[in-house]
Amino acid sequence: MGSVGDKLDIESDEEIPFSSSHATNKTESLHFESAHMASPRSFYSSRVLRKMHQISYFRSIYIVILKAKINVLVPFGPLAILLHYLTKKHEWVFFFSLVGITPLAERLGYVTEQLAFYTGPTVGGLLNATFGNATEMIISLYALNNGMMRVVKQSLLGSILSNMLLVLGCAFFCGGIVHHQKVQVFSKATALVNSGLLLMAVMGLLFPAVLHFTHTEVHFGKSELALSRFSSCIMLVAYASYLFFQLKSQPNLYSSNDEDRENNAENSDEEEAPEITQWEAIGWLAILTVWISVLSGYLVDAIEGASDSMNMPVSFISVILLPIVGNAAEHASAIMFAMKDKLDITLGVAIGSSTQISMFVIPFCVVVGWFMGKPMDLNFQLFETATLFITVLVVAFMLQEGTSNYFKGLMLILCYLIVAASFFVHVDPSKVSYFIIIIILVQRRQPDSKGKQMKQKGNKYAQGGDTHASANELLDYWR
């Protein structure tokens, strides 16, 4: 029996190491299998993340580029560049550049609005101030770099007139038609503050013009420029104070916008939620700004050639046509908010944009011209300054009651048509004075048929016709 027990003990002793080694082998194999199963899972998860990023990327392209119907006009931009190098037809380059910039300006406003969801009201206000008028700023800086100071002044003036008369007028008109059974109201306080800033801007533009045309400068040609630069710095300080007042010091004065959004949150959930991520908005902001900058260069280069080819004054192109493109985003959003009975936001878009241009963009261009060595000043000539002054008064009277209807909108639109017709027959005073002197000298020297031909060519120049040919022929004849 003892031997049998010993055998059993030996067998049991022999089985123990065998079973432990077997368990160890099983554990090792299990770890080996689990390790090999973990790597495909991590690989799969990384693939899923990459797929999600690709889906988000394509979704962003769809929302920004494909979803908006206005983007059917985007191909006109590359077509304008091709025409610039292939045909040299300035009128077609100008027209296609103008059409190609329109959807880019609208999308730039949309992307800025999307980015404002992530930045909060303070930074969002600064973004709207910077990028809301980015198209006008880019076009103005290109024209300023090329020495076309009159184009800069007239295009910025046209943006103010377009926002105050055309954009606000169309918004009031469409809102009044949709809500014809009631009177639409907006905050008087907001309108009064913006009207005061616009009158301050008029004052800043008026004194250099009066100083120039009354010939009361202490140092001829220098006092006007020095006053313009000093006034521009003051206007920039005033605009920065306005932003602080609006966003930090007295936010309750502008709380009506937030109340409107809260009251309509149930009906406009999609409008209140961002459609693209923060980094996608920043990326699109950079892409759109670069593309607008490229097209603006071709647009500015083609302005004078287009004016000659279409027999259209440069002042009309700068004051009327360019701002309509630059204000495409404001125009669409102002009408949309007015039709939704959100007139405080409409005023913030239309009048607020005019305030930004007059108190920020124009002084900014003067300061930039100062650093670039360009004599950019605030002398907008008497005709342009008087037009701005009358426009500010008309709009201030329209806003003083704090109510809106379609008739007020119609009146503003009709006022804009009068302004457009005025600039269509307006000639730059510098051209007129210079060539009237040449015409008088030509007539005194030879009052025959050739002198009459020279007079006709001079009149054609003054009316914005074949400028280069008329100028050269008159000068060559006088020499």
* Residue 404, SS3 per DSSP: strand
Q: Is the pLDDT of residue 73 over 70?
A: yes
pTM tops 0.85: no
- Distance linking the first and last C-alpha atoms of the chain: 145
Pair 161, 259 in one domain: yes
Residue 330 forms part of a structural domain: yes
Residue 300 forms part of a structural domain: yes
Pair 421, 448 in one domain: no
Residue 57 forms part of a structural domain: no
Query: What residue numbers bound the domain in which 452 lies?
Result: 435-469
Pair 327, 449 in one domain: no
Residue 182 forms part of a structural domain: yes
pLDDT category at 120 given cuts 50, 70, 90 is low
Q: Look up the CATH number of the domain holding residue 149.
A: 1.20.1420.30
- pLDDT tens for each residue of 322-371: 887 767 766 777 887 888 888 887 888 788 888 889 999 999 999 999 99
- pLDDT tens for each residue of 225-278: 999 999 999 999 999 898 888 777 665 555 544 444 445 444 444 446 778 888
**Closest alpha carbon to 164 in 185, 195, 133, 139:** 195
In order of 251, 268, 414, the CA distances from 242 in angstroms are 11, 30, 31
Pair 460, 370 in one domain: no
Pair 402, 456 in one domain: no
Most distant CA atoms of the chain, gap in Å = 154
Pair 365, 289 in one domain: yes
Residue 225: both structure tokens together: 């420029």
Pair 421, 457 in one domain: no
Q: Is the pLDDT of residue 115 over 60?
A: yes
Pair 334, 445 in one domain: no
Which of 20-29, 112-121, 272-281, 423-432 has the least mean pLDDT? 20-29
Pair 186, 300 in one domain: yes
Pair 375, 455 in one domain: no
In order of 13, 74, 80, 366, the CA distances from 91 in angstroms are 103, 18, 10, 29
Pair 299, 345 in one domain: yes
Residue 62 forms part of a structural domain: no
Residue 336 forms part of a structural domain: yes
Q: Measure the CA–CA gap between 115 and 109, rounded to whole angstroms.
A: 10
Pair 449, 367 in one domain: no
Domain count of the chain?
A: 2
Residue 3 forms part of a structural domain: no
What is residue 336's DSSP assignment? H
Residue 52 forms part of a structural domain: no
